[in-house]
Structure 1
């Protein structure tokens, strides 16, 4: 067998298996058998086949065809990717009703166990009932998020101030001449003359004021010439 013939044989599409328990996979153009098997092994639909086949009870296991189930799963995935969420919405609604039924069933079991004096069993059933109720609420919240998604809020302004003062008082009067309210605060490193009515000491002798008439200017001091 030549190398070209061997390559054509590897890239040939795989036949659909007659065994209902086998999964059919199709090779893409230029894809080897090992590459096709690796791609199918991580495909979400293929991975879910075993779990669905083991847990579902609507179709007998001997009549469940894995290849047909894979096709149905691929169709549902394609519908969601196209924006059709009708099937997930129906699933969440059914899950909420099912979990609500589980909650009431466990609640009744807890009540019967409590009446019979089996407090430990009653506590176990009560815990399981509350878990089912919590999962029911989660399913309803997920359904509401799909039906009514929350709108995102984008804030373009960035506040990088380390110290910020928030004034919760009355808003200033509106108008073109309105000025924002300011707090009269004199920093410790600001000159006194920057504030109205306050001046620094100029170093000259000031005259006696009228408030203290008994005070007089100090006379000249007699000192030696040398």
Structure 2
């Protein structure tokens, strides 16, 4: 039977654009695969697309019942594969075949566990783990700031000493001595100009 796909033309959209939008939609791509896997006549692809759009709308409305049913069904399927492959491994007389079967069995077991874990996270989101991660990030940021602050403090502590040595080096250097000794040159000039004359009293004392 000829395949029939209904294409809805939206406003300000050409027929070619409408066809491209429809065939590339997730619902249409999934319907194409499902019709082949389930051996459904491709003339029913429009109904398949419509059903998938309804399930997509339910997810957008926070209705996760379909997703929960899908995950639990997949977990049962993977668990059945594990049991089947493990049975084949135990009943075969070929060591290499047994190793291959057991490897596939353990992969099925791991996938079943991961599927159930996803189902649990879907029903109970890990909000606490998200908060813990945010706290760790803040702690790392604070530690980085503390390290930078300590580095700046050491630099600022060293800077005044260096500045003091440059600007006031003469006063800090106790080894350097002036030629005038302990007398200020300005004061020495005043002493010479205003020196009092010798008095007779001073001569009498010398006698």
- Give the structure-1-normalised TM-score: 0.58
From 46, 51, 57, the equivalent of 1:67 is: 46
> What secondary structure sits across from 2:41 in the alignment?
helix
Change (3 A) 1:144 1:23: same
From 126, 133, 140, the equivalent of 2:116 is: 140
Stretches of structure 1 that go unaligned for 5 or more consecutive residues are: 1-18, 164-202, 204-226
CA distance in 2, matches of 1:84, 1:128: 34
Structure 1 partner of 2:23: 41
Asked which structure has the greater RCO (Cα within 8 Å, sep 6+), the reply is 2
- Give the structure-2-normalised TM-score: 0.63
| Cα drift, residue 48 of structure 1 | 1.0
CA distance in 2, matches of 1:125, 1:145: 30
CA distance in 1, matches of 2:90, 2:104: 13
Alignment size in residue pairs: 146
Q: How does 1:126-205 map to 2 (within 5 A)?
A: 126-151=102-127, 152-153=130-131, 154-155=134-135, 158-159=141-142, 160=144, 161-162=146-147
Which is greater in Rg? 2
Please provide the CA RMSD for this pair: 2.8
Could you list the per-position Cα deviations for residues 175-205 of structure 1 after superposition, in whole angstroms to 9, with x for gaps in the alignment? xxxxxxxxxxxxxxxxxxxxxxxxxxxx9xx
From 54, 61, 74, the equivalent of 2:36 is: 54
